[in-house]
Amino acid sequence: MPTNQKRVTIRGSEKNAFSNAKSVGPVDDNERLEVTVRIRPKKPVDDLTSNSAYGDTLPRNRTYMSRDEMNAAHGADPQDIGKVETFARNNGLVVVEVNPEQRRIVLSGTAGAMSAAFGTKLEHFEHPEGTYRGRTGSLSVTDDISDIVEGVFGLDDRPQAKPHYQLHPEIFRRIHAGENAAAQVPSGSFTPPQLAKLYDFPQGLDGTGQCVAIIELGGGYRPADLKAYFTSLGLPVPKVKVVGVDGGRNQPTNANSADGEVMLDIEVVAALAPKASIVVYFAPNTDQGFLDAISKALHDKTNKPSIISISWGGPEASWTSQSLQGYNQVFQTAAALGVTICVAAGDNGSTDGETDGKQYVDFPASSPYVLACGGTKLVGSGSTISSETVWNESTNSATGGGVSTTFPLPSYQSTAHVPPSANPGHATGRGVPDVAGDADPASGYQVRVDGQNLVFGGTSAVAPLYSGLLALINQKLGTRTGYLNPIIYSARAGTALFHDVIAGNNGAYSAAQGWDACTGWGSPDGGKLLSYLQGQ
């Protein structure tokens, strides 16, 4: 590389060490690693929140792009790819993969070469939860590709997201007391089919013809558990496919690991839509792995998911700007393709687990292009809901929700009365969540994990709950629901399609009639939602 070539900072690449981490020395220059370089599209995807083709029009009146059409119009330009490949060669890096559809180029090289190529210093950091390879400050590239490169992911391999599930308090007590956790199913908990009855999910449907993608950043499942669980429910054992991303794989260990997240997601979706195809995309828990997994699922021409369920996330403040914008562009692409993204809103109330006295929303739930799923505490039996309130048992056991300080108020929320952020000086931004469902561990979901019958709650359960519902609805409609947000916020819909939750709070925000920053529009009334989407 010419020594006099100007370098330009990659916008939004600034990164800080974990607040409780310390550097313990540089990364060996000879250590090899891979990074994902995300590059600009041929032309940006239109702002779909104001595009009538994807606005509040019903699914039958929408025209979605195919994956081939998306690539042709909005994939990476071959000339841009060529320039990045030249940059890589000039810096001693190897091009491992080029994917124009996903606008990603995977580069391999030594830590020393990567540091020089992207103008950074790689160090090992220690923090209370482990160690990671990290960096601080900004990244840069040569000026000839500065307009092309939108982000570089993978130099830093710290854990990016957390799974949003929690054990039932009684089972948690049993485990820590050394008792049999599965001795007795706690009262007040539900199987997914019982919740489907309470929420009036459409009957006579099984998800045939639909594919639900599930994103996982750790853990795994055991086929024997699926067989035992679904046999106990009297349902067919689902056929689950696995797609590994960036070296991720199905790797079950024990019920105290991310296995609980994986099994919760699979079992909820498959119990609600037993004939839907389920594909689990396993990736490392890094900003690179998470982004690559979502992008892989979205552009998967073999399995063609119509719904993607995501139960992982973290406070907006824990992400770089390049990550926030890169992921958001992927979700915007999903809207154009007619793929619904259901995302858990978080389990730590309005602070999202942060301890600086400020309020945060969880990302990716805060993207305006996803269906953000909050949590409730549900009491009911049969088809009758006795009560439903905001899930809030404590600061660290409550539904996420609030106002984004990253994404502006989308047009579909213009009449939803989203309040200003509870943080001083912040204007009104994207309100979270959009919808809600049972999430309190005390009224949680009966699942099987690593040979044990357990009960889990958390908004992790609500994302697959809505994914299963939408698989049924898509089957009945004969088309994809796609970008649901503009529809449910339209003047014709709102609370008419949901059980409005008006009692409780998640810390800084309180429930109210209509939309609120605890449970959105409320919990689902599946029959009414289907009828509305049918145009009835």
pLDDT in tens, 29-42: 999 999 999 999 99
In whole angstroms, what is the distance from residue 291 CA to residue 307 CA?
A: 16
Full pLDDT tens readout for the chain, 536 residues: 445 689 999 999 999 988 889 999 999 999 999 999 999 999 988 765 555 556 778 899 998 999 999 999 999 999 999 999 999 999 999 999 999 999 999 999 999 999 999 999 999 999 988 999 999 999 999 999 999 999 999 999 999 999 999 999 888 888 777 787 766 788 899 999 999 999 999 999 999 999 999 999 999 999 999 999 999 999 999 999 999 999 999 999 988 899 999 999 999 999 999 999 999 999 999 999 999 999 999 999 999 999 999 999 999 999 999 999 999 999 999 999 999 999 999 999 999 999 999 999 999 999 999 999 999 999 999 999 999 999 999 999 999 999 999 999 999 999 999 999 999 887 899 999 999 999 999 999 999 999 999 999 999 999 999 999 999 999 999 999 999 999 999 866 667 899 999 999 999 999 999 999 999 999 999 999 999 999 87
Tokens at residue 128, please?
A: 């209370």
- 């999910």: which residue's tokens? 201
Q: What is the reported pLDDT for 47? A: 62
Q: What is the reported pLDDT for 1? A: 45
265 and 142 part of one domain: no
169 and 110 part of one domain: no
Report helix, strand or coil for 200: coil
In whole angstroms, what is the distance from residue 304 CA to residue 302 CA?
A: 6
CB atoms within 10 A of CB 110: 17
Q: State phi, psi for 495 to the nearest 5 degrees.
A: -65, -10
Nearest to 324 by CA among 287, 284, 297, 372: 287
Report helix, strand or coil for 384: strand
DSSP single-letter state for residue 312:
E
414 and 464 part of one domain: yes
Tokens at residue 217, please?
A: 């950043």
Q: Is residue 59 one of the residues assigned to a domain?
A: no
166 and 146 part of one domain: no
DSSP single-letter state for residue 318:
G
Question: Which whole-number Å values give the CA distances from 218 to 7, 248, 356, in the listed order?
Answer: 37, 8, 28
224 and 308 part of one domain: yes
381 and 444 part of one domain: yes
CATH code assigned at 423: 3.40.50.200
In whole angstroms, what is the distance from residue 426 CA to residue 311 CA?
A: 27
Q: Is residue 149 one of the residues assigned to a domain?
A: yes
Q: Residues 254, 450: contact at Cβ < 8 Å? A: yes
Q: Residues 231, 237: contact at Cβ < 8 Å? A: yes
332 and 417 part of one domain: yes
Beta bridge partners of 340: 307
Element holding 467 (H helix, E strand): helix 462-477
CA–centroid distance for 21 within its chain = 26
In whole angstroms, what is the distance from residue 350 CA to residue 391 CA?
A: 12
Q: Is residue 234 one of the residues assigned to a domain?
A: yes
DSSP single-letter state for residue 187:
T
145 and 172 part of one domain: no
Q: What is the reported pLDDT for 50? A: 56
Contacts of 144 (CB under 8 A, 6+ apart): 5, 83, 87
Beta bridge partners of 432: 402
Question: Which whole-number Å values give the CA distances from 334 to 280, 328, 342, in the listed order?
Answer: 17, 10, 11
Q: Is residue 242 one of the residues assigned to a domain?
A: yes
Query: Cis peptide leading into 433, omega within 30 of 0?
Result: yes
Q: Is residue 188 one of the residues assigned to a domain?
A: no
CB atoms within 10 A of CB 32: 12
522 and 486 part of one domain: yes
Q: State phi, psi for 95 to the nearest 5 degrees.
A: -80, 110
318 and 394 part of one domain: yes
Nearest to 314 by CA among 355, 348, 264: 348
320 and 374 part of one domain: yes
| pTM (2 d.p.) | 0.96
Domain that holds residue 386: 162-179+200-533
Q: Is residue 2 one of the residues assigned to a domain?
A: no
413 and 298 part of one domain: yes
Active site residues: 261, 265, 460
- Four-CA torsion 521, 526, 532, 533, nearest 10 degrees: 100
Domains of the chain: total:
2
Question: Which whole-number Å values give the CA distances from 123 to 83, 126, 285, in the listed order?
Answer: 29, 10, 19
Q: Is residue 66 one of the residues assigned to a domain?
A: no
CA angle centred on 291, ends 135 and 165, rounded to 5°: 95
Q: What is the reported pLDDT for 178? A: 77
Tokens at residue 446, please?
A: 């009966």
Q: What is the reported pLDDT for 175? A: 76
Q: Is residue 187 one of the residues assigned to a domain?
A: no
